[in-house]
């Protein structure tokens, strides 16, 4: 967003984002004093189980520092707390991105120095999984689901009776590539890149998160535009899009195995899920 480029750090965006929220509510003639609570998106906190958490002073400090790294979601709880305090109501976060319910075997990466971490689109994955559980009449806690979130990043989670027992780390380079992220890449070649002397740490990281995936291959994060070009005969766009779906399909198979092949439903969510060519391919 062009308006956010004026800020050097994520926390510097706080007042700007708060003003925008309050302005939109005012334009809709919504009186915030009628609120019973304020809920913000959960950020990069210490790992917690999925659920609803009250925002307190300790949480606010952790969000300001970014104990697991900088991310726009760190502002969610802080904004909720600030608005809620003004009108004297409680503030909460729900299913933060660090929601961690991994099975013990899913934590092992293959080297003890790098354990696998649970960082994914927990809020949306849990929401659509619970919605499916309700609509099916079976209940989220009684189902085995593979949930696929497809947005700027892609996360594929194995939901075992209400717990996400395995999921790719969609933030730090794991799983399928996406519009802006590289996903899993060959470790040996990545090491060579890191020590080539050509790139700084931040430049290498940006190749994994921010300038990877569609951005890296096609210099755009516009999946719909890529599909339009593919349908107009652009072979490069077709190859990248098919590779994107191919990797998601492999990840679905992987998470199905994590559920011992006993999958009640595959649930697709995120903006890219609306693509008419995606569902038939998967």
201: CB partners within 8 A, 6+ apart: 194
263: CB partners within 8 A, 6+ apart: 144, 145, 146, 256
Rounded Cα gap, residues 225 and 215, in angstroms: 12
Question: What integer pLDDT is reported at residue 136 of this predicted model?
Answer: 98
Helix (H) or strand (E) holding 188: helix 187-194
What CATH number corresponds to the domain at position 248?
3.30.420.40
Question: What integer pLDDT is reported at residue 1 of this predicted model?
Answer: 67
Question: What integer pLDDT is reported at residue 158 of this predicted model?
Answer: 99
Say if residue 78 is in the same domain as residue 112: no
Q: Which two tokens stand for residue 203?
A: 């430049």
Tell whether 211 is covered by a domain: yes
Say if residue 90 is in the same domain as residue 108: no
Phi, psi for 107 (deg, rounded to 5): -85, -15
Rounded Cα gap, residues 4 and 103, in angstroms: 38
Question: How many domains does the chain contain in total?
Answer: 2
Instruction: Print pLDDT tens along the chain (282 aa).
Output: 678 888 888 889 999 999 999 999 999 999 999 999 999 999 999 999 999 999 999 999 999 988 888 888 999 999 999 999 999 999 999 999 999 999 999 999 999 999 999 999 999 999 999 999 999 999 999 999 999 999 989 999 999 999 999 999 998 889 999 999 999 999 999 999 999 999 999 999 999 999 999 999 999 999 999 999 999 999 999 999 999 999 999 999 999 999 999 999 999 999 999 988 888 888
Of the candidates 148, 129, 108, which has an alpha carbon nearest to the alpha carbon of residue 268?
A: 148
State the residue range of the domain holding 20. Answer: 2-94
Question: What integer pLDDT is reported at residue 273 of this predicted model?
Answer: 92
Question: What integer pLDDT is reported at residue 277 of this predicted model?
Answer: 85
Maximum Cα–Cα distance across the chain = 58
Say if residue 121 is in the same domain as residue 80: no
Say if residue 210 is in the same domain as residue 173: yes
Assign 200 to helix, strand or coil: coil
Tell me which of 94, 128, 144 is where a domain ends: 94
Question: What integer pLDDT is reported at residue 172 of this predicted model?
Answer: 86
- Axis crossing angle, helix 57-65 with helix 74-87, rounded to the nearest 10: 140
Say if residue 117 is in the same domain as residue 44: no
Please name the residue that has the structure tokens 């890149």. 193
Question: What integer pLDDT is reported at residue 133 of this predicted model?
Answer: 98
pTM beyond cutoff 0.85: yes
Tell whether 84 is covered by a domain: yes
Question: What integer pLDDT is reported at residue 171 of this predicted model?
Answer: 85
Helix (H) or strand (E) holding 38: strand 38-41
Q: Which two tokens stand for residue 276?
A: 């008419």
């Amino acid at each position: 967003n062009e308006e956010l480029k004026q800020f050097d750090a994520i926390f510097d965006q706080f007042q700007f984002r708060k003003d925008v929220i309050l302005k939109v509510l005012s334009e809709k003639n919504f009186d915030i004093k009628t609120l019973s609570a304020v809920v913000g998106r959960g950020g990069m906190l210490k790992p917690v189980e999925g659920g609803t958490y009250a925002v307190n002073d300790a949480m606010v400090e952790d969000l300001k520092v970014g104990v697991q790294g900088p991310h726009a979601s760190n502002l969610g709880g802080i904004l909720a707390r600030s608005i809620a305090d003004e009108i004297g109501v409680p503030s909460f976060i729900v299913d933060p991105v660090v929601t961690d319910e991994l099975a013990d075997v899913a934590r092992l990466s293959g080297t003890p120095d790098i354990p696998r971490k649970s960082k994914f689109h927990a809020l949306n994955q849990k929401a659509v999984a619970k919605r499916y559980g309700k609509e099916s009449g079976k209940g989220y806690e009684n189902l085995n689901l593979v949930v696929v979130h497809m947005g700027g990043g892609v996360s594929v989670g194995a939901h075992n009776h209400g717990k996400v027992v395995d999921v790719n780390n969609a933030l730090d380079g794991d799983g399928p590539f996406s519009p802006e992220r590289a996903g899993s890449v060959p470790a040996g070649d990545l090491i060579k890149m890191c020590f080539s002397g050509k790139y700084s740490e931040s430049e290498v990281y940006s190749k994994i998160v921010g300038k990877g995936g569609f951005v890296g291959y096609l210099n755009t994060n516009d999946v719909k535009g890529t599909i339009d070009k593919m349908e107009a005969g652009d072979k490069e766009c077709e190859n990248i899009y098919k590779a994107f779906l191919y990797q998601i399909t492999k990840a679905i198979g992987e998470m199905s195995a994590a559920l011992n092949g006993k999958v009640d439903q595959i649930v697709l969510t995120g903006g890219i899920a609306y693509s008419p060519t995606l569902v038939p391919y998967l």
